[in-house]
A and B are shown apart, each in its own frame.
Chain A
Amino acid sequence: MSAKERWERETLQPFLQKAPERREKFITVSNQQIKRLYTPEDIKDLDYDRDLGYPGEYPFTRGVYPTMYRGRLWTMRQFAGFGGPEETNQRFKYLLREGQTGLSTAFDMPTLMGLDSDHPLADGEVGVEGVAVDTLRDFEILFDGIPLDTVTTSFTINPSAPVIYAMYIAIGDMQGVPREKLRGTIQNDMLKEFIAQKEWVIPPRPSVDLIVDIFEFGIKETPNFNLISISGYHIREAGSTAVQELAFTLADGMAYVEAALKRGIDIDRLGPQLSFFFNSHNSFFEEIAKFRAARRIWARVMRERYGAKNPESWKLRFHTQTAGCTLTEQQPLNNIIRVTLQALAAVLGGTQSLHTNSYDEALALPSEEAVRIALRTQQIIAYESGVADTIDPLAGSYFVEALTNEMERQALDYIRKIEEMGHGSILEGVFAGIENGFFQREIAQAAYEYQKQVESGEQIIVGVNKYVMPQDEKSKLNILRVDPEVQRRQIERLNKVRAERDNRAVKRALERLEEAARTRENTMPYILEAVKAYASVGEIMEILKRVHGAYREPVIV
């Protein structure tokens, strides 16, 4: 009889007779069952050198840098954008004054969907969910007084990513900043759009071609810029489990690598310019395990499957945002505590940058006060808690290591399934999964299961299905609203730009872009030319739509 069996028989069982546990089974928010106790038995196959190694070395389970946060803290990067470029420029400057170390731009829905502010579908949405951008003129205002050689900027933009990327390069050129000094990230991840976030213009295959155009252009022109942020965040927000988030994101990453290899791009030039973006949700240890497993899987895949030789290509560097979907409208101040725990999980999981949500975001756009508290949350974790003072402090925990292994195993099962759908190709498997509704069904099913668990009380949300208060503090909140005037002002500026620009130059640039898109030439130089001639986001995306057609989603419930 092992010592554990003896403990179970002599100590545990008699105790359980008298005092049963709180529930029959303990699960994470992702329905992952958690055992009562983890011991050395649960990680008996773990080989330290093979599976964990040292920080900054393969397989990077313990972190991508040798000193992690002892050297440099993570980048505190709060996502911001609303109204016109004037308002967002002010918010950017406010955040930089408050000690934020990088910018992150939120665009409004029309810009995200590649529509101009005067498009009929844009009515009521201009500047509401983020900043409205139509032409380079708006970017000039957005980055007024912000030097691009010292600030790093992240752009949450997908179908219109090539246009926004071109605008950033154009502003850098105007400021006289050499392109190799531009630092930042464009999200530019269309696969997760078709899977989860649902912002698109053209169909999946030409969308991926366009992304590879950016890769090809970007490794030469802006070698210090992350050309993609392969995102699990939105997959998770759409209702996936932690394992699905991990698996689908890494599969998307593998799909992009395969698409780039097909174009003849050198994996070791591209690898270091890939970055990732994950969600940090409520189940604390599961999230930490997810981040650690992500690094290990990616390192192995890049080295063993795709033959990358540059250690920089093996490193999975990632941004994290706390889970927006966990914020409650009820008793909103409770969200501050949720965000703190989620942020702590991201830091213990070794994130490179972090956005903490504001407590009022289940009600409206965040107010300035709420944004400040969210940033202060990160600063308190960084400077007061001491968790950043040693590297990967939870390594070696029987529980965390066992859970890391489990996340890896389950994610690899999914990746194998995707590979089978693509007959050996992950890229084809992801396309197939989008076309046949595999991803959508998996995610919708998980979301529905979770909702049922919430309604049965199996999952508890404080203030929503337990400790409910009849009157809560939300009426006292100051809600930020976007002035409808923004839409009028934005359209007025767009019309002014259209009247003042050299319209023959715009026409020429757009014709050249259309020709390049038809002949499958790299479109980036032509998009940059069109942007510099003050062609609008909508005009440029319209050309691509004309060549490739518009995407219609198969409707799946």
Chain B
Amino acid sequence: MDRPIRVLMAKAGLDGHDRGVKVVARALRDAGMEVIYTGLHNTPEQVVTAALQEDVDVIGVSILSGAHLTIFRKITELMKQYGMTDVLLLGGGIIPDEDKPILEQMGVKGLFGPGTSTQEIIEFIKKEVQKLRG
């Protein structure tokens, strides 16, 4: 891969739990990726617009408020609307097992809950982005 992987890390919704998103952002940066962190309290529109403007390969959204179904539904709809089929959408936070298939069906390609190692996320992104870039 010539171009470094570009990642947008975002906190969507109202919760301020940003420990995880910041740890992951730093780990991805240390792994050589270009990371843009949006900060807190973003609407789905803001997340998707930022991803378009920054021309990223990956969007990582962290939600720990329980609003993941509502927020990911809006994000995936907007991504479809803008034809962002080559962007990898990932989620992090507290997401009950029974919600995972629903989110995957919407188009969230990877979900990383508490206790996930940053190494696992890095490897997942590298593998999936390679596939998308063909």
Interface residues of A (CB under 8 A from B): 109-110, 112-113, 115, 120-125, 128-129, 193, 197-199, 237-239, 325, 327-330, 362-365, 444, 447-448, 451, 454-455, 461, 464-465, 474-475, 479, 481-482, 553, 555, 557
C-alpha gap A464/B65 in the complex (Å): 23
Closest residue on chain B to residue A454 by CB atoms: B117
Is the Cβ of B69 less than 8 Å from the Cβ of A555?
no
Question: Footprint of A on B, CB under 8 Å?
Answer: 13-19, 22-23, 25-27, 29, 35, 37-41, 43, 65-67, 69-71, 94, 96-98, 113-115, 117-119
Instruction: With CB as the reference atom, state the residue of chain B lying closest to A109.
Output: B14
Instruction: Given A329-B115, A555-B38, verify A238-B96 contact (CB < 8 Å).
Output: no
**CA–CA, A120 to B94, complex, Å?**
22
Measured CB to CB, the nearest residue on chain B to A123 is B70
Residues B66 and A448 in contact, CB atoms below 8 Å apart: no
- Supplied contacts A125-B13, A329-B115, A555-B37, 20 more A-B pairs, CB within 8 Å: A124-B13, A124-B69, A125-B65, A128-B66, A198-B18, A199-B16, A239-B23, A325-B19, A328-B115, A362-B114, A363-B94, A444-B22, A447-B19, A448-B23, A451-B23, A454-B117, A461-B115, A553-B39, A555-B38, A557-B25
A122 to B66 CA separation, bound complex (whole angstroms)? 12
Instruction: Assess whether B94 is in contact with A364, with CB atoms less than 8 Å apart.
Output: yes
A509 to B20 CA separation, bound complex (whole angstroms): 42
**Cα(A213)–Cα(B50), bound, Å:** 39
Least CB separation from B64: chain A residue: A129
Interface of B is mostly: loop
B96, A479: Cβ atoms under 8 Å? yes
17 A-B pairs whose Cβ atoms sit less than 8 Å apart in the complex? A109-B67, A112-B14, A121-B14, A125-B67, A128-B67, A129-B15, A193-B16, A198-B17, A327-B114, A330-B115, A363-B94, A363-B96, A444-B22, A465-B117, A475-B97, A555-B37, A557-B37
Residues A447 and B23 in contact in the complex (CB < 8 Å), given A199-B16, A475-B97:
yes
The complex places the Cα of A555 from the Cα of B9 at a distance, in Å, of 12
Residue of B nearest to A128 (CB): B66
Which residues of chain B come closer than 8 Å to A482, judged between CB atoms? Answer: 66
Which A residues lie within 8 Å of B37 (CB)?
555, 557
Q: Quick one: closest B residue to A125, CB to CB? A: B67
Residues of B contacting A451 with CB < 8 Å? 23, 27, 118
Distance to closest chain B CB from A484 (angstroms): 9
For the complex, what is the distance from the CA of A86 to the CA of B33, rounded to whole Å? 48
- Tell me which of B19, B40, B70, B114 has the highest count of chain A C-beta atoms within 10 A of its own C-beta: B19
**Nearest CB in chain A: distance from B97 CB, A:** 7
B40 touches A553 (CB 8 A): yes
Q: Tell me, in angstroms, the Cα distance from A478 to B44 when the chains sit together.
A: 30
Q: Which residues of A contact B66 (CB under 8 A)?
A: 125, 128-129, 364-365, 482
